[in-house]
Structure 1
């Protein structure tokens, strides 16, 4: 490799690390992070294609991205068939980076539907890298190519570094999302409590009853009509509640 090509490679590597770190300073989705990861893997590692499987938390399934549409379709089929290198990597996240020949050995018995389709696309080898931060695994990265030699140690270390960088950003994005969701829930709860207290005060004054009596009347009204207490409170303040609730005490 010439000095100029080495400089170009370092420049592309710096660009890749900068792109993967973008979610740390601005709002970028986990899917965008993995798209960036697969594209830079193809550019820096001289592989034919790259795919990534993201394990989405809270039972929301999984997301699949890839450096091209044919590889994405392959990874989607693997997800549907519940087989393939990414699926195995997610099931055994503590294993080291592994590379498997698709045109020899036990690849076809191991992945009976994934392997023939991958070979049909011209891939003869696949390496898998877990997307992991400490003990948390968020998915897997696949590196597919058709050359005779396997990825060397330096390429595997670089693949690990890129995958680790992406995993950190994905974890951070998930944490921020969970925090924002929790904040929104707390704000909704606080807003509801404020509206309910306001409605209690209004009913107490208009009906000539205590605040506790006003609260019990709203609860009964809400239960009988299968409404949320906060919705009833809004109706009280907007003058839209039924006459039985708004009429003053006699």
Structure 2
């Protein structure tokens, strides 16, 4: 228990660091989803944020399967993530199959991706909800009350980091700040594709290489992704770091 408490403390400290200047929004979002997998009894996590048109977009995911399921439910406008955002309240689904009548197409796709439970929590700052944090389990089962509270605390802290710092320092509106994060996500997906093809990797391993290179060189994740997408950075340089770590 003491080890988990130390890990929780380190995670909140890492999220709090986003309140300083020049933090990396893209890395923050992935820190959040990966921390949820490390700290909670879930197999994967994903994060959606609303864009300037009011539509939810996938911003981060811990696995490719989670990303595909997020994209699917947003595409059909059906599922716990969508309902969580609309209701602005947690949507906790211990057994997706048992609730198939509620979201038939989502339930079928969740099973195809290997997920049996989904818990969606609002990304909120005070009364303002900007998206949802989604936790996926491979087996049916409720998420304990303490874990729900912890996940909501992580989501709330990350939301402050997303909205607060640059809005205050640079005079950006909330929609501008979120759009910056959304644009960065598109570039990251392009960069992952470049690395996956070059290194014959899975998309998950490609992202591990991308994030590792950015961190080891003290660069913004989005900046490295943009350099790869624009062919200004040799993908073999990024992949060499992955080879050293493995």
Same fold per superposition (TM over 0.5) = yes
Instruction: Give the match's secondary structure for 1:113.
Output: helix
* Aligned counterparts, 1:76-91, within 5 A: 76-91=71-86
Gaps of 5+ in 1: 1-5, 182-250
Matched, 1:166 2:161: no
* Structure-1 separation of matches of 2:151 and 2:55: 27
1:115 to 1:176, Cα distance in 2 relative to 1, 3 A: farther
* Structure-2 separation of matches of 1:44 and 1:143: 12
User: Retained in 2: the 8 A contact 1:53–1:65?
Assistant: yes
Residue 196 of structure 2 corresponds to none
Residue 66 of structure 1 corresponds to 61
User: Retained in 2: the 8 A contact 1:85–1:128?
Assistant: yes
User: Retained in 1: the 8 A contact 2:94–2:143?
Assistant: no
- CA RMSD of superposed structures (Å): 2.2
| CA-CA distance at 1:45 after TM superposition | 0.4
1:133 to 1:76, Cα distance in 2 relative to 1, 3 A: same
Per-residue displacement from partner, 1:137-184 (whole Å, max 9, x unpaired)?
A: 110011111234311111111111111111111121462476058xxx
* Structure-1 separation of matches of 2:103 and 2:169: 35
Larger radius of gyration: 1
One of 26, 32, 41 as aligned partner of 2:36: 41
| CA-CA distance at 1:100 after TM superposition | 4.1
Instruction: Give the match's secondary structure for 1:143.
Output: strand
* Aligned counterparts, 1:1-250, within 5 A: 6-57=1-52, 62-93=57-88, 95-104=89-98, 106=99, 108-173=100-165, 175-176=167-168, 179=171
1:32 to 1:176, Cα distance in 2 relative to 1, 3 A: farther
| CA-CA distance at 1:70 after TM superposition | 1.4
Q: What TM-score do you get using the length of structure 2 for normalisation? A: 0.64
Gaps of 5+ in 2: 174-246
* Structure-2 separation of matches of 1:86 and 1:61: 9
User: Retained in 2: the 8 A contact 1:64–1:75?
Assistant: no
Q: What TM-score do you get using the length of structure 1 for normalisation? A: 0.63
Instruction: Give the match's secondary structure for 1:17.
Output: helix
| CA-CA distance at 1:71 after TM superposition | 0.7
Higher relative contact order (CA 8 A, sep 6+): 2
* Structure-1 separation of matches of 2:110 and 2:26: 23
1:8 to 1:26, Cα distance in 2 relative to 1, 3 A: farther
